[in-house]
Each structure stands twice: as C-alpha cells, then as structure tokens.
Chains A and B, each alone.
Chain A
Amino acid sequence: MKGVARRAADWIEQRTGFETFIRSFLFEDIPASTGWPHVFGSIAIFLFLTQAFSGILLAFNFAPTPGEAYNSLTYIMRSVTAGRMIRGLHHWGATMMIVVVAIHMVQVFLYGAYKKPRETTWVVGVTLFLITLAFGLTGYLLPWDNKAYWGTSVTATIASQAPFIGGYLRRLMGAEDGVGVVTFARFYDLHTLILPGLMALLVVVHIYLVRRHGIAPAPSDEHPSVKFFPRQVFRDTVAIFITFVILFLASLLIGVPLERLADPTDTTYIPRPDWYFLFLFQALKFFRGPLEPIGSVVLPTAFIAVLFAVPFLDRSRVRRLRQRTAAIAITILAIAGWGALTMAAIITTPSANTDGLTSKGDSESWASFSPEELAGVGYFRQEHCESCHNLIDGDPKVGPNLASLPVRRSAEWMIEHFKNPSQLIPGSNMPPIHLPDAGLNALSAFLLKLTPENAARLMSAPSNASDGAETFVTSGCGGCHKVNGTGGDMGPPLNGISSRRSKEWIARHFDDPQKLSPGSIMPPYRFAPSDQSALISYLFSLPAH
C-alpha cells in the first residue's frame, strides 16, 4: 500500500515538482532568533483563509440585493442549521483579522524589519492592511440593516468630502443620490470579487518577498540559521490554534446582532462605526465646519502616506529592540491615542434607549383602552398578523416583534405601510392588508398603544369584546358617544351603561331609539345578530367611570 502511495507521489512530483516546492518552502533557512513574535503574519493568513471559507458558505444562502439581503441573512440566522455560527465566524473573524494584522504591523515596526532591503515587503504589507480595512468597510453594508445603511451613508458622505476627488469617489460608490442598490452592488462586488482576488495576489507577493529576503534576524543573532519546519511551524500552528479557539468560541457564544431592516426614513437612528473606526469618528469631533475634511480625509490620508513611507523615513541601521526608543515611543503614543479616542467615543455614545416606550399605559386592563385601540386588537387577530409577528418574544417569526420595535411610527406611516408594505420598507415580504380605512386606523391606533408592558393585557381581551369594539368603530358610535375618555358629546357617555340599562333594553334601543328615549336624535341601527351581541357585551365590559 505504501509502495503505491509512494509511486503516486513520485508520479505527481515528476510532473509537477510540488513536493520539491513544498520541501523547499518548509525547509527554508530562518534566523535562529525567529520566535513567538513572528507568528502573527501566519495567523493573519489563516484568518484570511477562514474568512474566505465562511464567506463562501454565507454566499450559498445570501441574496446580494438590498432588502433581499436582509431577508436572506435572517433566513441564514433563523432557518439554516449552524447559519448563526457561520455568520459568527465571519463577523468575529473579520474583527480578529484587523487586530492580528495590526499586531503584525506593530511587531514588524518595533523590530525595524522594514529596513533595507525589505522596504517593498513593508509597502505591500501596508497595502494588505488597507485591503483588510476595505473588507471591513464594504462588508459592513451587506446585512442591509439600519446599522449598515446609516454607517455606509456616513462613509459615503465622508468620501465625498475628499478634496478634488470627492465627487468622483461618491460616483464610484454609486451613492450620488444616497446609498442604494447601486452602492450595494458595488460593495458586494468589491467585497467578494475584487478585494479577495487582490488580497490573495498580494499575500503571495508578500510571502515571496519575505522568502526572498529572509526573515529579518535580530542584530545580535550570531547563531547558525535553523529550518522553518518543524520548530517555527509548530509555533505558528499553536498560535493559529489559540486564535481559532477564541474565534470558534466567540462565534458559538456571542450573537452577532442583526438590527432592523435598513430604513432611510428612520430619523432616530444614531449610526456608529465598528470599534476599530471609532477613533476616527471621535477625532472628527475636533474638526468643525470647513475644517471637517481635515479630520475626515486629510489626516487619515496623511497617516496612510506616512505608514507607506516608514522604511524611507527611517534609514538607520538595524538595532536591537531595546535601543529603538523612538519606535517604541511612537507605538505607545499611537496605541494610547487610539485607545483614548476609542474610549471617549464609547463613553459618549448614548445607549440605545427604549425610553418613551414604557411610560404609558402601565396599569390598565384591556377594558380601559379606547374602542379604536381595542378594535385594532380584533383586526390584528382577524388578519392573522401573529402568524408573522410576535408581540414581545417567542419563537422567531418572519416579521419583527411589534411591541419591542425600537422605533415608533406615526399612524400615517403605518396606514401607508399596511396598504403597500414593500413601498415603505423595500424588500418586505408582508402582504398588503385589505381593510376599510376605519380598520386601518384602528390597527394603527392599537400598534401605537402597544408596549412590551401592556401587550399581554391587550391581547387578553376576549374576542367578543374586540369584535364589539370593531363594530363600535365601523359604525361610528364614537362620533356621538364617549368611551374611556374619547368620543363625542352628542350622546351620553357609555361607561357604566351596564349599571343603567339591561342588554335587552340596549338591543331594543338600537331598533328604535326614539321609542325608548323620546327626543333622542340617534338613528336606528340594524346590526347583524353576532355584531350586535358582540357590541353589547363590549359595552357591558366597560369600566364604570
């Protein structure tokens, strides 16, 4: 058996030279001083490959257009087994990749490993760092939730502030009229086609250059060189494994948030960039008015330019790490500055508040809601809204939870939305609700009243009460009668009617009001029997006051 495997390997080797290539790669001479600080480049490559892997898996179930993107991502997270975890791998992998690439750069910077003849290795490395950031920036938009939409809108605006090229940048992003389908298509293209190809290519160039010049030895390293395999490969593997364990646990245990579907009309949303860009966000606060582009564009560009120029600015000969006080000072200052700005940004970020949702209607039973609100409960049931929406929590459904929506909508917005859901929320799967205007009004009144605290009480209303409230609303009773404080004054208030009249009396009164209440201007009402009995039981359930 072994003979066969050997012969097959020889056959391949003779025709491809793969084995020789892999051997020469593994048995490369490296300085004896190479050690644990040199593992970060390998971790970065590992994370890039993991990102490609999880990204390809996500793309199996992802529809790359706005709206559909959100729906398909919801599908990945709710319906596809292990989908939540695959998204976790991709999300946390992205975060870790930025961290690891940054640490790799700091290590190379501190060791002065960019010095002659390794300048081009550094330049390619900085480019790879920028590509990593570009991955983060373009991937941010793809969930198409509020965070994605608003975050990218800010990015597009910042890009358009760039002196001279701002307009072109904005056009290139397809965001001349705001972030939309064109921006999405271009970001998806960048994220899944251009950037991965570019990064793979430059990683190869980067490794080629590292190999061509060898790993930079420590200045004091007088020892004979050692082989890459197995000792350094072992260190790399252990470091990669630790990284992977962190990534794996994070993707299993820490949920990746998916906010509400992107809503360009949401005026309450406060976008914040991802944590690694928070310092830029904070720095921007120091530049007001015409100075703003300095903070948003000029300084970051200058920083990148300096980063590229590092090997050309520092041409001193290689020194020991301890003697590189300037490099250490710059690194500490940079990290401290980044940390301080990031902290400041976090501290000043208002926590996503749900105030205003919890203030009203706390101790009320269903009977004290207005007829319109209660009728809304009836329409909610009649239209089977609960087959796609939870009120607070429960097994995830297709539509959002209605009581815990972070944004309050106006009644006008809701009614428009009911009539044509996908017009106000692009990509919405919700079917239009065909109800008369009174019904749509009631439904919106109910949803306006709905809070996480009163949802259970509202839904505990018996169906004959909510049906009765529907009849009350569609018959326009509130035009003349007050119930629970709302309604007209023409007729008597109806609270407490159960103590004044019998059910039979009310039924006969509907037939011929003037007969029982001489002088009444109420017109006679002919209800369907079921409507009439529901209406009467509703009136009888009203609180007395």
Chain B
Amino acid sequence: MMYEVKATPSRRTYLVGAIYGLTSLIAAALGVPALIYLFHPRRETVSTGWVDAGDLVQIRPESPREVTFRSNRVDGWKIRSEKGSAWVVKNDDGTITAFSPWCTHLGCAYHWEVARRAFACPCHGSWFSITGKVITGPASRPLDRYETRLEGTRIWIKPVRQARGI
C-alpha cells in the first residue's frame, strides 16, 4: 500500500496498527456476544412431561395404533398446548413401544400399512418394520422412540423431540 508520508515510518506503523487493533477488538466484543445470542441454546423454563396417551386395551398386538394427546410445549416466549401423536405398539412380552410420528428421513408423517405389516412413509418411500427398523428406503436410522411407562393399563409417554432435528 502506498501511504502518504508525513509521520515517521515507525510512528505511522504504530498508528495504523492501533487503528486495526482497536477496530478488531470492537468487532470481536460485538461479534462474540451476537453469535452466542443467536446460537447458544435457550434456557427452557418448562419442559414437556409425561402425558396420558390412552389405554392399553385399545391396542391389539401386532397392530400399531396412532394415539393422540395434548401436551404443553415451550415455544419461545409462549407455552403452547398442542396436539401430538405417537404410534404405539404392544409388544409380545406385554411392554409397549411408542414411536415419534415422523419419518427419520426428512420428517414426513408415516403410517401403518396393514397389508404389508410395516410402516410406510409416502414421501420418499421409506419402510420400517414393527420394531422401527429400516426395511428399505432412504431413511438411514430406525424410527425415534418416546419414553413410555404403564400405570395399570394407562399408557404414559414422554413426547420429547429428538435432538437430531426431525
């Protein structure tokens, strides 16, 4: 760079260095909090707890059933009460499994194909077995599961979204 010469070269270097140095400090002191502000995860005040998702007697073995429930979700500055769903399977040993209702490929809603005894996602043709394993298709991991517990014959599930995004 050709600079105007008046000040001695060393003084000039000092001035230019100070200009760049101080400007960078300001940029960093503004930029770092801004990045934290935008990207650091929010502190959640209320978390979704267990919800009552129906009765075990409604579910036959080998026949997954979509149950719906209401749950509270913290959405920014609001707490929303919203409808949710899960596919519940009654296992042979009497336990239950609840799958989150979204295909693990790109988040479409899948359904149970009675004829083929498998979960089918119509979006991009992923198929999952009754245990949630990928049979075929672009999905690369099994269906996501919700925590479940039984109180008598009442089904309780904890509909927490997976951190993976879908």
Residues of chain A touching chain B, judged by Cβ–Cβ distance below 8 Å, are: 27, 50, 53, 57, 60-61, 63, 68, 71-72, 74-75, 78-83, 85-86, 89, 226-227, 229-231, 233-234, 237-238, 240-241, 244, 248, 387, 397-398, 429
Contacts and interface: CB of A to CB of B under 8 A. Distances in A.
A241 B22 CA distance: 6
7 contacts: A78-B45, A80-B42, A81-B36, A86-B34, A227-B6, A238-B18, A398-B46
Given A79-B45, A80-B37, A234 B76 contact: no
B4 A229 contact: yes
Given A82-B40, A241-B25, A234 B15 contact: yes
Contacts of B36: 81-82
Given A229-B4, A241-B26, A57 B34 contact: yes
A19 to B, nearest CB: 10
Nearest to A226: B6
A22 to B, nearest CB: 11
B15 A231 contact: yes
Contact of A71 (B19, B42, B77): B77
Interface of B: 3-4, 6-7, 12, 15-16, 18-19, 22-23, 25-26, 29-30, 33-34, 36-38, 40-46, 76-79
Main secondary structure on A side of the interface with B? helix
Contacts of A63: 77
A397 B25 CA distance: 36
B22 A237 contact: yes
Nearest to B29: A248
A78 B43 contact: yes
B77 A75 contact: yes
Given A75-B76, A85-B33, 7 more contacts: A27-B4, A53-B30, A72-B76, A79-B77, A80-B42, A82-B34, A429-B78
Contact of A233 (B19, B40, B41, B42): B19
Given A82-B33, A82-B40, A398-B45, A237 B79 contact: no
A72 B18 contact: no
Contact of B19 (A50, A234, A429): A234
Contact of A240 (B16, B26, B33, B43): B26
Contact of A230 (B3, B23, B38): B3
B18 A237 contact: yes
A466 to B, nearest CB: 25
Nearest to B36: A82
A57 B79 contact: no
Nearest to B40: A81
A86 B32 CA distance: 11
Nearest to B32: A82
A82 B37 contact: yes
B4 A227 contact: yes
Contacts of A74: 77
Contacts of B19: 230, 233-234, 237
B43 A86 contact: no
A63 B75 CA distance: 13
Contacts of A244: 26, 29
A225 to B, nearest CB: 11
A80 B37 CA distance: 6
Nearest to B22: A241
Contact of B45 (A71, A81, A86, A397): A397
Contacts of A237: 18-19, 22-23
Nearest to B1: A23
A67 B45 CA distance: 19
B15 A86 contact: no
Nearest to A72: B77
Q: Sort A-B residue pairs by CB-CB distance and give the 5 closest, nearest first.
A: A75-B77, A81-B40, A230-B15, A82-B37, A241-B22
Given A79-B43, A226-B6, A234 B30 contact: no
Contact of A57 (B37, B42, B77): B37
Contacts of B43: 78-81
A53 B31 CA distance: 10
